[in-house]
Amino acid sequence: MKKTMVLLFLSMIFGGLLSACSSTQKITNSARTATEQLLITEAVSRSLPLQRDISFPIPRGATVKLDVAGLTADKDIVKAIVAGWLGLHGYIVQDDNASHRISIVVDSLGTELSTTFFGMPPIQASLIPVSVPELSLFKAENQSGYARFHFDTFELPSGRFLATSSPFLANTFYNAYTVLLLFTFSKTDLNSPPQVGKLDKLIK
């Protein structure tokens, strides 16, 4: 009995030490993290050319009505970004008295995540109330954003189909790495991504 108590006491101390070397982070307080939102919105923005070098069946200065269709709830952001892009190139985007309608068909919009892990996964003991956190010798979380959509253009009020565009597509990435339990760093092509729990901020 005494030996069992000693083993239990040592196990609790060992578990406490391991827990002290780990950090717990709540992933998000919103439906999507700020990083995920940037992965999606920047992918949409980058898919549209800076110069209007595509053939367009609508003359500049025309009034255009937009609608959007897709399988994702995030499709409205595509409509808003496209509206700004059309306005930048001299079109008037409004529903009333429009001479043309552009249907934005969102083929794909979202994020993908792949993880590479080498170490010991978290352990929750059943007999002894001691949990061991994840111990990462190496961990890579590679997250990418992807956007693909195209335009179908119609004449109003006749509804006559004029043309369909080539796909607009682009992707973004945010890769987070953990080495030897404590050392973390990231690589990304996002503009001004959020910085959470960085060592230089914690020191300040």
Which of 25-29, 122-126, 185-189 has the highest average model confidence (pLDDT)? 185-189
- What are the angstrom distances between the C-alpha of 153 and each of 42, 109, 147? 24, 21, 20
Residue 202 binned pLDDT confidence (cut-offs 50, 70, 90): very low
* Range 56-203: architecture per CATH: 3-Layer(aba) Sandwich (3.40)
Rg of the chain in Å (alpha carbons): 26
User: What pLDDT score was predicted for residue 13?
Assistant: 47
Q: In terms of Cα–Cα distance, which of 105, 108, 106, 107 is closest to 152?
A: 105
pLDDT digits 0-9 by tens, 80-123? 999 999 999 999 999 999 999 999 999 999 999 999 988 888 77
User: What pLDDT score was predicted for residue 182?
Assistant: 82
Mean pLDDT within 28-41 = 86
pLDDT digits 0-9 by tens, 123-164? 776 666 677 777 888 999 999 999 999 999 999 999 999 999
3-state secondary structure 130-177: CEECCEEEEEEEEEEEEEEEEEEEEECCCCCEEEECCCEEEEEEEEEE
3-state secondary structure 45-100: HHHCCCCCCCCCCCCCCCEEEEEEEECCCCHHHHHHHHHHHHHHCCCEECCCCCCE
Q: In terms of Cα–Cα distance, which of 64, 47, 142 is closest to 101?
A: 64
pLDDT digits 0-9 by tens, 61-79? 999 999 999 999 999 999 9
Q: In terms of Cα–Cα distance, which of 160, 152, 158, 167 is closest to 102?
A: 152
* CA distance from start to end of the chain: 50
User: d(Cα 203, Cα 64) in Å, to the nearest integer?
Assistant: 53
User: What pLDDT score was predicted for residue 143?
Assistant: 96
User: What pLDDT score was predicted for residue 191?
Assistant: 92
Q: In terms of Cα–Cα distance, which of 63, 53, 42, 9 is closest to 147?
A: 42
User: What pLDDT score was predicted for residue 11?
Assistant: 53
How many other C-beta atoms can be found within 10 angstroms of the C-beta atom of residue 81?
Answer: 18
User: What pLDDT score was predicted for residue 120?
Assistant: 80
Q: In terms of Cα–Cα distance, which of 137, 163, 168, 138 is closest to 152?
A: 163
